[in-house]
Amino acid sequence: MLQFLFNFVREKTVTRKMEINGKDHQKIQNFEDLDLSIQELIESAVQARKLAYCPYSNFAVGAALRTTSGEIIKGCNVENGAHTPSICAERTAIVKAVSEGHTNFEAIAVVAFQEDQFTSPCGVCRQVISEFASKDIKVYISKPVPVRILCTSLYELLPYRFDSSRLKQDS
């Protein structure tokens, strides 16, 4: 409990300094104000992070995808000694989901710890999520102790995204 309070106060004090991509961001909400289904998704990403295999970076990340049918599919980052085969938590979740027959998603939660900023999906993960974003997908970014949540979306994170569906229409 003491540790929780410590983390809570600590997060509150750094909230004003939180940045994403170098800019202040206005879309931060309190965890307890979010819908229970979103809280559940974030908690799932917190749990997924605990299984991260990251002996090289020691930077653990968890992700949780919500399918349009309501299921939650979790993922963590899995690193490799050869480095390039490493995969991010978000893509682990996507690959697991697609391989289980899910291709429609409404939200993804991403959890990691950086002292004074939210950990936003990398460019590769944004593109991979985009493949399954014929409609926008909500993105919730949290610290491992969810207090303040950055609420954004794939379309906001990847404006002017490459839309492969147009290729099919124009050919």
Least distance CB 2 / Zn ion (angstroms): 34
Alpha helix ranges (H) inside the chain: 2-14, 36-49, 89-99, 123-130, 154-157, 164-170
Does the footprint of Zn ion cover residue 88 (CB under 5 A)? yes
Q: Which is nearer to Zn ion, 14 or 78 (CB)?
A: 78
Verify binding: residue 76, Zn ion, rule CB under 5 A.
Answer: no
Strand 105-111 to strand 72-76: parallel, antiparallel, or no bridges (unpaired)?
Answer: unpaired
Nearer residue to Zn ion within complex by CB, 47 or 86:
86
76 is in an annotated binding site: no
What residues between 112 and 141 interact with Zn ion by CB under 5 A?
Answer: 122, 125
**Nearest to Zn ion by Cβ — which residue?**
88
So which residues are the catalytic ones?
Answer: 90
Q: Is 125 annotated as a binding residue?
A: yes
Q: Cα–Cα–Cα angle for 26, 32, 33, nearest 5°?
A: 55
Rounded to an integer, what distance in angstroms lies between the CA atom of residue 153 and that of residue 140?
8
Q: What are phi and psi of 60, to 5 degrees?
A: -85, 135
Q: Which two tokens stand for residue 67?
A: 């399918």
Residues in contact with Zn ion, counted by CB under 5 A, come to a total of 3
CB 110 within 8 A of CB 142: yes
Report if residue 60 touches Zn ion, rule: CB under 5 A.
no
Annotated binding site: 88, 122, 125
The binding site for Zn ion (CB under 5 A) comprises: 88, 122, 125
Q: Extract the annotated binding site for Zn(2+).
A: 88, 122, 125
